[in-house]
Each structure stands twice: as structure tokens, then as C-alpha cells.
Chains A and B, each alone.
Chain A
Amino acid sequence: MITENDIFNTSLKLINKKIRGIMTRFNLRYNRLFKDIFEFRSLLYDLVYCDSIEFYTKLMIFKREASIDSIWYIADQKTMDTLEELLKLSRNRIFRIKKEYLTEEDREEAMDVENRHPNRSLRSSDSSTSNFIDERSGMSIISEKAEEKSEFKSNWIKNPIKIDGENYTMDVRLDINFKYKGLIEILKSLSKKTESRIPVWIVAPEARMVSKIKKVINNYFSKKDDNIIQQLFKLKTLLELTRVGAVNNLSQVSTDTTQTNQIFQEKNNPKPKNGDSKRSSTEKQIKAEDFLLDALTRDLIKFKKNYEKLMMIHVLGYEGANEQSLAEALESLEERHRIQEEEDPLLFTHLSNGKSEEDSSSFKRRFDQLEKPSDPSLLIFPEQKKVLNKEDEKNDKYEVIDPEKLDFKTFDVLGDEGEVIFDAHQVEGLDIDVNCANVAYTRLDYIAQHKPQIVILFEPQISLLREIMLMKRCAKYGGKPCSITQVHILMVQNSIESAIYLDTIQRENNAFVSILKERSALPQLDDDPESRIKKILPKKGESTRSGKGAGFLASLSTRPIILVDKREFNSPLPSRLYHDGFIVIPILLEKGDYILSNNLVVERKSVETGDLLNSIRSGRLENQLTNMCKSFARPVLLIEFSEAIDFSLEPAEITKFQQNAAWMNDMSIDKKDTYRSNVKFHLSLLCMKFPKLTVIWSKSPEFTSQIFRRLKEGAPDPDIKNFLKFQEDAETKGEGDAIVVENKENEDDLQDLKKFLS
């Protein structure tokens, strides 16, 4: 197993197939390692396709669900450090907490401490999440390089958080995946102010990506929003997950149970603040995350309420309700919110219960069916705006997201089936369709029906690209017309995606090379059999026959004849001989495999199938040669190799042994030599015993065919009647059921043969 070969291979299915075979040989511990490999590999994919929050959530889930014998728990210190760094880097893509220095002196002092202990910040402590804030300096572990700083665009929570009297700031980065941005850029470049819209087909690699791509396009082109609300919801879920996870991890991993218990205790029953006591960094981190979670929850609840009101106002207003009914409806909504907040302030997602929930969903459905207003901000009552602003002013703890920005457009509008409602015409000059076409049939069907002009491949799919090429080429030569004029391929450089792409191209090239090689090995089909026969026939005019077709029959009668044992037809040689212009007559032979003339017989032994080795060992070869030498003047032993094995005897024998016993690999050289010398020794003995015997070595059936032609030069064809006797005897005596059955099956052939010979 090599990382580049096995992990960057084309598909997970291939790897699964390859690895599953050997997985059963290992114990559970190593099966766990395989699972780890698959998980890390899936993360490599997610790095490209998911946003930072999704990636980190998945990483956390993998860590939490890892069993005790996984690499997450059993590894050397260096690996553990690497895992810590992975968690840290993934988290820092979403948010990070930094100590805020009130004066320059504080900063310099902190930097001095950092410089004195440069390795401390990188060293992990017991908990996987406790490395967020360094214990000594309280500084963020992240080195604040200019390039990293520039990546943090938004700073949502600006006011410092106070933990144990120290101020921290929180940078929150809510950014969408960079690959989606690439897609947006392409769509922008394609957008033109034209009357007719160009059909664009965006091909997603998976079904789940379709809705994601639709959402992103909606956000950019229709809502003019940066997908902030969805990201905020995701962040909140993540924070809930990690906060619980941090405590769980402490209980699982930490060796210091006292400390763990203390943290649990402090979390559940917060003690009055004691500024002098140094709290653990884990606790600080949990506090900071709590703060962020609290801020987000309040913000989102407030926004959700606003959203519900807007919906209600819009629906009632649209249906012509009077002011009184509107006021009553709003009042009941307020009451419901109040009760709900008292019960569970965090439960903002479940807006209502029982009958009212039904009302809410029906409201939403009706709302979705309505025509959307051109400017939704007009629907916000001035009073409502004031209330929101007043609430903001009260919150001196943190700055909230601008409520003006959070209008209901930022929510995804879903259909009855839960699918994202997508306007195909939202980009100027384009008619966009997004779908996932994994099956060739659906792809071709789609192209035929929708006739897209531009295809955007979100993932480099070579198969689709080749299909399009084929369609275009077919159209060029009179096939069905193909509408596609442009294909855009989105690809991330130096990632698993590009590695797979290059690997696919490489495999495709290899396939072409192997096809060309195979084709060159095939008989020349452009050369028809008659012309091949003519090559080996006497010149025209030598035949005494005349009349229509007589020439061909005459040529047939003058083609060299080879009698081939019926049992030899499993090998490629008879077919090769036929193609090379010989008349191949299948017959049940008593001695030898191929009879070239009345005196010349050939016994073929294959090295590849182990026939040679087995015959030597069992002594069958010696018996066969004895019989052949008695009846024929020129017995030949043909030792045949193939292209798959080397043209030498030694490796072939070892291969045979390897097939039987893997431990041969480790056998001593002396032992191997013994086996080799045994074969050579036996062959030498046979040559000495049968002086008439000729041994011919052939590297392929083609080469054998050439040898046979040389041997046949000047030799008369065999007298078939002499050799049919054994077959007829076998039929009459019923020697072996198999032979009888075979003969019955070929009875017609035999009759034809007899007619031909007479």
C-alpha cells in the first residue's frame, strides 16, 4: 500500500474493493485503522466541497464516535499533536478568541512570555479542545500573520468578552466555500444582456450538492446576501455540539479526574467569581463559546420572531383582513413567543406546538405561494424597527448583527417536498438548471431534451466530458445534433480532486495503450482468409479443376493440413494456426497433440498452466514420449510460454510454487536452486533417453505457428484415415463417457469431414 496509489485512486469503491479483501486478515484494531483511513479520506473531499462549519462539525463527529482503539486515542505523541493541530486549524477557520490588550505594555509583556516559551503554545494539554488559549500567556495560539488576518473578513462580535477579569475579542468568520465562489464567478462572466437566454446546465457531483448549489446561486443573484443566516444557524448548532463535546472529552480523555470533576461541578453550579484563582484554559474556552452561543441564540430568536410577524402581516394584508384582526393575530403571536421564551429561551427553532404549529406551517405554505414583494423591507412597520433598535441598545454586552440586513429574503424558500425553489432566470441572459446526473442514460436523455449550450461541471467528470465529445463527433458525421458549445470544468488545484482527475486521465491513456497493443497482436483482419491462403498455396494454374468456385475448393485442398487433438482446443494455438492459413482438423489423437505429417508429431506443454511441471513430476511426459517415439520418426516436444511470463524456465517454476504456497517467497536460495535443477535435470534425462526427440521452445502461439510452417515445408500432409482409427475405436468401445458424449455432439462434423476426405 502506498498513500499516493491507494488513497488518490479514482474512487472510494475501488479502494473499498481493494482493501476489503485483505481486511479480514487483520484483527479489530487494524480494521479500526482502515476505518480511520476512510474517514480521513472523506475529510479530504469535504475540505473541497463543504464550508468551514460543516467540515469542523464532521471532524468533531468523527472524533467523538471514534472507538478507543482508533488512532484518535492510540498513537504516539507526534501523531496526537498532529490531530490536535488538525482540530485547531479547522476551528480557526470558523472563529477564534483572542486576548485583547488594553495597553501596548501588556502586549509587549505577553509577547515576551510567548518568546521565552515558544514551544509551549503548540504543546497540547489533556483535552483536545483545551489548546485554544495558551495557559500561561492567555494568548491565542494562532500566530497572527498578515495573510491570515486578511482572511477574516467579518468581526461580528466586537466588544470584548470578560472572563476572569481579562478581555477577549472574538473573530467570527462566516464564509461560504471557495468553490461555490468560483461557480459564481463563472456565472457572472457568462451573464450577458441579451434578449434570448442561453441554457446553462450545472452538473453537481452528488444529489445533496444540488440544493447547496441552488441556495448559493439564490443568495448571490436573487437575495443579494452572503448566506449569513444559514451560516449563523450552522454555527449555533456547531457551538452546541462542541460545548457538549468539550465536556465529554474531558471526562473521557483527561487523566486528572479531579480536574474534570471540578470543571463539571463549576459548570453546573457556577461559583461566585474569584479573580485571583487561575481557572483552566478549558473552562475559559467553554465560557467564551457559551458567550458566543448566547449571543447568537438571542440574535436569532429575535430575528425569527420578526420573520414570523412579517409573514403574518403579509398574508393577512394580502387577503384584505381589517386592522382589528391583524392586531389580534399579532397579539396572539406575541403571547405565544412570551410563553415559549419563558419555557425555553434556546428553543427558537420550534416556534409553536399543537394546532398552532399547523397554522404556522400553513401560513408558510400560503406565504410561499404568494408573489414576492419587490422590496420586502417596506413591510417592516416603523414601530417594529424601533422596538428592535431599543432592544439592541439594551444589550451593552455585545453588538448584534444589523437587523436591517436580516430580512426574510435570506431564508430559503422551500417547496412542499422540501426542495429549494430555484428561479432559472435569476442570472441575466442565462437559463440555469442544476441537477445531478450520475447515470449515462439520464445525462444523454437530459442533453437531448433540454439542449443546453453551456455545461458547467462542478467536479471534473471525465466520463461526461467524453460523452459530450462523442456526441459532438457523431453529430459531425451525420448523427443527432448536439447543442453544447462550451464546457466549463471547476477544479481545485493540488487537491484530492485534481489528483483524481489526473489519475483518471492517466488510466484512460493506459487503457488506450493496452487496446492498441492488443489490436496489434490480433490477426490482420483487413487481410481476408482467401488471400492468406493464397500466400501459402502453389501458384495459379497448378490446379486441374475448373468451374465456378472450383478454384477456391482447389485452394482448400492444397492448404497444409494439421491434425489437432480435440482436447487442445482450450489453448489459443489451433485458432492461431487456422488464421495463419492451415486446415485445422479436430480429431481425438492417441499420441501427441498436433500431427503435422505421418512422421512428425508434436506434444505441446505449457509452462504457464503448469502442464510441463506436472507432467515431469508425475512421469506422464516420459510415457507420452515413449509412445510417440515408437510410432513416429520425428517426435517433437514443444515447450510453450506466453507473453505473461518470462521466456525462461526458472521464474515460471517459482510462480507455480508461489501459487501453491506463499511461503516459497522466503525459501532459501539453495532450495530454489534444487527445484530449478530438478526440472532441468529431468529434461536433460529425457533428451538422453529419447535421442530422436526434438525440443522446441516457443515464446508465443504466433511463434509456434511460424515454427509449424517451417516444419511443414516439403513434408506431405498426414493421412487422416490412419489417425481416425483410434477415434472410431473409442466410439465403438465406448472408452470414457466423456469421449462418447463429445463424439456424439460432433457427429455431424465427423460426417462432413469424412465426405470431404473422400
Chain B
Amino acid sequence: MKDVTDNSDFETYESLISLPGPLKKIQKILMGLIRICIEEINAKYKERVISEQIFLIVLE
């Protein structure tokens, strides 16, 4: 299996470009916004599970 990932048969160059300063800021903000949305969804998800449990207990 090592043969499959062995790239010694040709040259590989990874050209790494660094993200310009203002873009880093924008990326950070976008990540933060995504995190906020996820946190809100997670909070609602927990709330929903708990309320479902309460509902089932009441039914019992």
C-alpha cells in the first residue's frame, strides 16, 4: 500500500500563498459568524431534546 502514496516518480511542488492581512480578518469574522449560528442551533437542539423528554415523561 505504500506504493500507492509514494510520489517519488515525479516532482511535486506545493506553492503556498499566505492570506493577505485584510483577508485574514474577514476570514476570522466569517468563522466567528458561522460559530455563532452553530451555537444557536446547538442550543436549540438541546432545548428540543429536553422538551421531548419531558413530553414523553408526562405521557408515561
- Residue positions of A touching B, CB distance < 8 A: 1-3, 6-7, 22, 25-26, 30, 33-34, 36-37, 40-41, 43-44, 47, 71, 75, 79, 82-83, 85-86, 89-90, 92-93, 147-148, 151, 178-179, 182, 185-186, 460, 465-466, 468-470, 472-473, 475-476, 484-496, 508, 512, 515-516, 661-663, 665-666
What is the 8 Å Cβ interface bit string for chain B, positions 16-46, against chain A (1 contact, 0 not)? 1111111111110111111111101110110
Considering the chains assembled together, what is the distance between the CA atoms of A466 and B5 in angstroms?
7
Majority DSSP secondary structure for residues of B touching A: helix
B41 CB contacts on chain A under 8 angstroms: 1, 26, 30, 33-34
Shortest distance from the beta carbon of A23 to any chain B beta carbon, whole Å: 10
Q: Do the beta carbons of A47 and B44 come within 8 Å of each other?
A: no
Q: Do the beta carbons of B27 and A40 come within 8 Å of each other?
A: no
Considering the chains assembled together, what is the distance between the CA atoms of A475 and B3 in angstroms?
13
Considering the chains assembled together, what is the distance between the CA atoms of A79 and B39 in angstroms?
13
Question: Given A40-B34, A515-B1: A82 and B29 within 8 A (CB)?
Answer: yes
Q: Do the beta carbons of B13 and A486 come within 8 Å of each other?
A: yes
B17's contact among A47, A89, A178, A663, by CB below 8 Å, is which?
A: A178
How many residues of B sit at the interface, in one of the four size bands? Answer: 35 or more
Considering the chains assembled together, what is the distance between the CA atoms of A28 and B20 in angstroms?
37
Q: List 18 A-B contacts (CB under 8 A).
A: A1-B41, A7-B38, A34-B37, A40-B33, A71-B37, A75-B36, A82-B33, A86-B29, A86-B33, A178-B17, A186-B15, A460-B14, A466-B5, A472-B10, A473-B3, A492-B17, A495-B19, A512-B1
- Residue positions of B touching A, CB distance < 8 A: 1, 3-7, 9-27, 29-38, 40-42, 44-45, 48-50, 52-53, 56-57
Considering the chains assembled together, what is the distance between the CA atoms of A515 and B4 in angstroms?
14
B26's contact among A41, A89, A460, A469, by CB below 8 Å, is which?
A: A89
Q: Do the beta carbons of A493 and B16 come within 8 Å of each other?
A: yes
Q: Do the beta carbons of A89 and B20 come within 8 Å of each other?
A: no
A89 CB contacts on chain B under 8 angstroms: 22, 25-26, 29
Q: Do the beta carbons of A26 and B17 come within 8 Å of each other?
A: no
Q: Do the beta carbons of A484 and B30 come within 8 Å of each other?
A: no
Q: Do the beta carbons of A663 and B56 come within 8 Å of each other?
A: yes
Q: Do the beta carbons of B10 and A3 come within 8 Å of each other?
A: no
Q: Do the beta carbons of B37 and A486 come within 8 Å of each other?
A: no
B34 CB contacts on chain A under 8 angstroms: 3, 7, 37, 40-41
Q: Do the beta carbons of B3 and A47 come within 8 Å of each other?
A: no
A47 CB contacts on chain B under 8 angstroms: 23, 26-27, 30
A485 CB contacts on chain B under 8 angstroms: 10-11
In the complex, which residue of chain A has the Cβ closest to the Cβ of B59? A663
B21 CB contacts on chain A under 8 angstroms: 147-148, 151
A516's contact among B1, B10, B50, B56, by CB below 8 Å, is which?
A: B1
A1's contact among B19, B24, B42, by CB below 8 Å, is which?
A: B42
A37's contact among B13, B37, B50, by CB below 8 Å, is which?
A: B37
Considering the chains assembled together, what is the distance between the CA atoms of A82 and B45 in angstroms?
25
Question: Given A7-B34, A71-B36, A486-B10: A466 and B4 within 8 A (CB)?
Answer: yes
Known contacts A7-B38, A489-B12, then 12 further A-B pairs from the complex at CB < 8 Å, ordered by chain A residue: A1-B42, A26-B41, A33-B41, A34-B37, A37-B34, A151-B21, A179-B17, A475-B9, A486-B11, A489-B13, A494-B19, A662-B53
